[in-house]
Amino acid sequence: MGNLSSYLQKCMYPIMGKPFLEWTIGSLVANRCFNVETDRLVLVVGHLQDQIKAFFGDLWCGTPITYIEQTEAIGTAHAVSIGWQACMQAEGTIIIQADVWAEPEFYEDLINHSFPDVLSVHRHVCSRRHDERVDLSDGRITKAWKGTSPYVECGIWKFSPTLVRWMMKRKDDEYRALASVQAAIEAGLPVGSVERKRWIHLGGTEPTVQANLKQVTRFLMDRATP
């Protein structure tokens, strides 16, 4: 997001008086599967983390928040690995990139999917390169990284303890979660998919960074307006 992210943590970009991350978390906890008494939020933080901590504190809408600092930005696989240490490790977890938003109903579909490991995907045809492009067969991911289909992975995952243990097993330019998922698939782990009709990605660059910001802002404003 260019110069904007030099002084503002990207996920704290304000829309209608609240940061984008609050929209994301609010939608997550609004899904019918979320249990405020047993579930909790783990935020892996790094750049400008004090902005996030100051806003959300240790308790948000009755849900405890744990902060894990990623002292070195070496990839999403590393972020998943260190965040997992603060989770109930015998259970699966939902992992969300902080600049992505989805409807509460989407989280319900993801959680209720019959596969313990699931990626979110969106049909996105363009002329630009997307390393997060995936290949699919009957709703199952056959290639999770640098695929060739019209579908891209869009930043929301359901991971079992088994898949989390594959994080950091493969390095591309950095330790990327999707490259690690691909290693797990090659070893025989089945990974399913849930399709999203829209890809609401604050950090998107298409058609431009500025135009994407306007599109995301307008979408959430329209959704919030009766």
- Does residue 94 lie within any of the structural domains? yes
Strands 63-69 and 14-15: unpaired
- Does residue 219 lie within any of the structural domains? no
The pLDDT score that the predictor gives to residue 160 is 96
d(CA 85, CA 168): 14
Tens-place pLDDT, residues 94-114: 999 999 999 999 999 999 999
Residue 3 confidence class, pLDDT cut points 50, 70, 90:
confident
- Count up the domains in the chain and report the number: 1
The pLDDT score that the predictor gives to residue 183 is 97
Question: Whole-number mean pLDDT of the chain?
Answer: 93
The pLDDT score that the predictor gives to residue 226 is 74
Residue 121 confidence class, pLDDT cut points 50, 70, 90:
very high
d(CA 74, CA 180): 13
Range of the domain at 134: 10-199
- Does residue 223 lie within any of the structural domains? no
Measured in Å, how far apart are the chain's first and last C-alpha atoms?
30
- Does residue 205 lie within any of the structural domains? no
The pLDDT score that the predictor gives to residue 197 is 93
- Does residue 70 lie within any of the structural domains? yes
- Does residue 111 lie within any of the structural domains? yes
Q: In the predicted model, what is the mean pLDDT of residues 181-186?
A: 98
CATH number at residue 132: 3.90.550.10
Tens-place pLDDT, residues 16-55: 999 999 999 999 999 999 998 888 899 999 999 999 999 9
The Cα-based distances of 181 to 9, 66, 119 in angstroms read: 27, 25, 10
- Does residue 212 lie within any of the structural domains? no
In terms of Cβ atoms closer than 10 Å to its own Cβ (0-12, 13-18, 19+), residue 173 is exposed
- Does residue 4 lie within any of the structural domains? no
